[in-house]
Amino acid sequence: MNYIEHIGKYFMMLAQVFKKPQKGRVFYEALMKEIEELGLKSLGIVMFISFFIGGVIALQTALNLESPFIPDSLIGFAAKRSIILEFAPTFCSIILAGKVGSYITSSIGAMRVTEQIDALEVMGINSLNYLVLPKVIATVFFYPFLIILAMILGIFGGWVAGVLSGLFAGVDYIDGIQTTFNPFLITYAMIKTLVFAFLIATVPSYHGYYVKGGSIAVGKASTQAVVWTIILIVIANYVLTQMLLT
Amino acid sequence: MIEVKELHKGFGDVKVLKGISTTFQPGKTSLIIGQSGSGKTVFLKSLIGLHIPEAGTISFNGKANTEFTNLEKRQWRQEIGMVFQGSALFDSQTVEENVMFPLKMFTNQSQSEMLDRVNFVLKRVNLENSNKKFPAELSGGMQKRVAIARAIVMNPKYLFCDEPNSGLDPQTAIVIDNLIQEITDEYNITTVINTHDMNSVMEIGEKILFLKDGRKAWEGSSGEIFKTDNEAVVSFVYSSNLFKKVREAYLNEKK
């Protein structure tokens, strides 16, 4: 199957996904379960990575600003910008593509190879709508909160790193954070997050749903799903930055 | 009644079903037998609408399933119960949730009404006290029973089973066979079973359809299968020495 066929099949899948759920109560239960699986269970890794990467960004910025004419507050300013614009939405989404993407593909793929999806279809259930829509809604609504948390923890991690290393003063760092705050940068980051969240839910679902074969095929599909999700996130990141910031 | 006329189905260049015609009578248990790769599973999946035939018709009570309106199709789906080869239970749900799932999706019953119905069908398949267990905690035979319970919870008119005995010990296989037969008689269901199990053929096959290379090679009852001299059937059904001897004894007795 060539790329054009895959793209066509992906959009045909989306047409089935975005239909009215057959039973509101069942959909609500599935949605809550997915928020827990895809959102709440990702909190730990996002918090951990955000804090330490924020620290690294602040330390590297400080180590590269050697001129006495550059104020230390620039470290906080640069760290804040890097974290809000790029690190939190893009880096965290790539990590989530690995963690959540492989989970989605393997869970749906296992259902395919063990005929659980056939069982849904025989009952007259739109299996794509039942399996994928709650995942899309859960990621699109929950990931903005996750990314905002990543921003806050990343900036906090930078402050902790500065204070502990003694490379810059905490006061200067806070001063830098407060310098020229542009709210559109948050909007830009949130738009990116929504697009990435959509990709993280749908691309692995596509790979899982159409898997053919047995457990090895599910494993391969998981790897492919993560790779393609990351590629699409990187492309979407470039396109959105071009569209929104230039 | 299910009526199949000139059913053809292929995947790419491989033709799997080559013009099968047959009927399945209401309230009866029909078996489809044949070697691996003879097209049994594709035939069964075509009957339940998981495969779209390339040619031919499948009619339920006189109406072809391709002519169903959306509403009729939804109703038809709810009249079908299916037991898959690997049971196809939802891993993430308990036994109770698995069996309750069709009720949740298609009825407006209260939780207590659904629970009553679930307990009733679980009792019917002799599987009490396992409501809160997950499929992974059950034996193969128990999983099959849960799959049967899920298939009959909506009171289906048609029950399809894809190798319900595969992977089970002979004793459990007989229990599952008897259970399917009892349920068929009790609820007047039209039951179609794919099987390799020759015990099933002898015990519960009110009608037997033998497929070979995607074609109907023989059709008859379990009584007739002893007497047939169709070479393909004889070499398949009586391939083991035990069944050869059973057949010889049966034929000698008849003489």
pLDDT digits (tens, 9 = 90+) for B79-119: 999 999 889 999 999 999 999 999 999 999 999 999 999 99
- Cβ contacts (< 8 Å) between A111 and chain B: which residues? 90-91
Q: For chain A, give the number of residues.
A: 246
Radius of gyration for the alpha carbons in chain A, expressed in angstroms and rounded: 21
- Pick from B80, B91, B101: CB nearest A122: B80
Establish if B253 touches chain A: CB-CB under 8 angstroms.
Answer: no
Q: Which residues, given as ranges, of chain A have pLDDT below 50?
A: none
Alpha-carbon span A223 to A214, nearest angstrom = 15
The dihedrals phi and psi of B163, each to the nearest 5 degrees, come to: 45, 65
- Pick from B48, B85, B89: CB nearest A122: B48
What is the pLDDT of chain A when averaged over all its residues? 94
CA torsion angle for B84, B86, B91, B95 (degrees, to 10)? Answer: 70
Establish if A24 touches chain B: CB-CB under 8 angstroms.
Answer: no
Establish if B11 touches chain A: CB-CB under 8 angstroms.
Answer: no
First to last CA, chain B: 36
Contact A115 B90 (CB under 8 A): no
CA distance A82 to chain B (A): 40
Task: Please count the CA atoms within 13 angstroms of the CA of B248 that sit on its side-chain side.
Answer: 7
Alpha-carbon span B200 to B196, nearest angstrom = 8
Contact A118 B106 (CB under 8 A): no
Going B223 to B164 to B62 to B10, the CA torsion angle's sign is negative
Helix (H, G, I), strand (E, B) or coil at B15: strand
Contact A116 B45 (CB under 8 A): no
Reading the block at residue A243, the tokens are: 């569209």
Q: How far is CA B165 from CA A117, B88, B127, B239, in A?
A: 21, 14, 17, 19
Q: Are strands B2-11 and B14-24 parallel, antiparallel or unpaired?
A: antiparallel
In this prediction, residue B165 carries a pLDDT of 85
H or E segment to which residue B184 belongs: helix B170-187
Establish if A126 touches chain B: CB-CB under 8 angstroms.
Answer: no
Q: Do B236 and B210 form a contact (C-beta atoms < 8 A)? A: yes
Radius of gyration for the alpha carbons in chain B, expressed in angstroms and rounded: 19
Q: Which residues, given as ranges, of chain B have pLDDT below 70?
A: 254-255
- Cβ contacts (< 8 Å) between B105 and chain A: which residues? 22-23, 26, 123, 125
CA distance B73 to chain A (A): 8
Task: Please count the CA atoms within 13 angstroms of the CA of A154 that sit on its side-chain side.
Answer: 31
In this prediction, residue B99 carries a pLDDT of 96
Summarize pLDDT for A70-101 with one digit per residue, the tens.
888 999 999 999 999 999 999 999 999 999 99
CA distance B217 to chain A (A): 28
- Cβ contacts (< 8 Å) between B88 and chain A: which residues? 114-116, 118-119
H or E segment to which residue B219 belongs: strand B215-220
The ipTM of this complex is 0.87
Q: Do B193 and B161 form a contact (C-beta atoms < 8 A)? A: yes
Q: Are strands B29-34 and B190-194 parallel, antiparallel or unpaired?
A: parallel
Q: What is the pTM of this model?
A: 0.88
Contact A121 B50 (CB under 8 A): yes
Going B250 to B251 to B252 to B253, the CA torsion angle's sign is positive
Which of B143, B130, B33 has its CA nearest to residue B83? B143
In this prediction, residue A239 carries a pLDDT of 96
Alpha-carbon span B33 to B39, nearest angstrom = 10
In this prediction, residue B234 carries a pLDDT of 82
Angle made by CA atoms A6, A212, A101, in degrees to the nearest 5: 65
Amino acid at A19: K
Contact B84 A23 (CB under 8 A): no
Q: Do B107 and A123 form a contact (C-beta atoms < 8 A)? A: no
In this prediction, residue B183 carries a pLDDT of 87
Contact B88 A124 (CB under 8 A): no
Establish if A37 touches chain B: CB-CB under 8 angstroms.
Answer: no
Q: Do B25 and B61 form a contact (C-beta atoms < 8 A)? A: no
Contact B88 A25 (CB under 8 A): no
